[in-house]
Chains A and B, each alone.
Chain A
Amino acid sequence: TQLLEQSPQFLSIQEGENLTVYCNSSSVFSSLQWYRQEPGEGPVLLVTVVTGGEVKKLKRLTFQFGDARKDSSLHITAAQPGDTGLYLCAGHRTYKYIFGTGTRLKVLA
């Protein structure tokens, strides 16, 4: 059973465009994380959101945790080729992390 669904699965955009990736679940999580993974490497943590409704910004990336702590979004402003990669959300419950299906982003120069 896949508890975390990400959308879209694939996204190919031009440099400078904005985009939003969604992470949805019917389950409540104590926190939610976003990772970026590049080919041949392990995922790298971008952000952790803990409080319902929380918004965090990391340069051009904006992360939001849903009020009910069941969903999250990642918005990238003015995407750059360096943003290319696989974006993964992960919900944290007790000691376990449930990973989403992933969104593969390609930003074309």
Chain B
Amino acid sequence: GAGVSQSPSNKVTEKGKDVELRCDPISGHTALYWYRQRLGQGLEFLIYFQGNSAPDKSGLPSDRFSAERTGESVSTLTIQRTQQEDSAVYLCASSYATSYEQYFGPGTRLTVT
């Protein structure tokens, strides 16, 4: 079946602009995660969605970052007034609620100039 997909694959934006990143999880996966990966580093947790429960936003680095998810489907991560330090790969992952296994998308590489 189809895996996790993300769009766009690459995004170059000017400092101060807003960007929206999209994630399509695997069908039937109720849990969805967003992570940030800076060049050559590990993954930094940003936000977690589980079904209709309130999301865990504890990893969002500032109020410029927000995310939404419609039911158990598509999620969007929005970064407002982008800064150069926001440049990174943003990864989305989904899983069954009771499973230990996450499945990752290919990521969106964001470059803020």
A96 vs B45: C-alpha distance when bound (angstroms): 8
Interface string of B24-46 (1 = CB under 8 A from A): 00000001010100001111110
- The reply to whether A45 and B101 contact each other, CB–CB distance below 8 Å, is yes
> Considering only CB atoms and an 8 Å cut-off, how many residues of chain B contact the other chain?
23
Q: Which of A11-19, A58-66, A74-82, A100-108 touches B?
A: A100-108
- The reply to whether A42 and B100 contact each other, CB–CB distance below 8 Å, is no
Which single member of B42, B45, B105 contacts A42 (CB below 8 Å)? B105
Chain A residues within CB distance 8 Å of chain B: 4, 6, 31, 33, 40-45, 48, 50, 88, 90, 92, 95-102, 104
20 A-B Cβ contacts within 8 A? A6-B42, A31-B100, A33-B101, A41-B106, A42-B93, A42-B104, A43-B104, A48-B100, A48-B101, A50-B100, A95-B31, A95-B50, A95-B56, A96-B45, A96-B48, A97-B45, A97-B102, A98-B45, A99-B45, A101-B42
Q: Can you list the 7 inter-chain pairs with the closest CB atoms, starting with the nearest? A: A42-B104, A99-B43, A99-B42, A102-B42, A48-B100, A101-B42, A31-B100
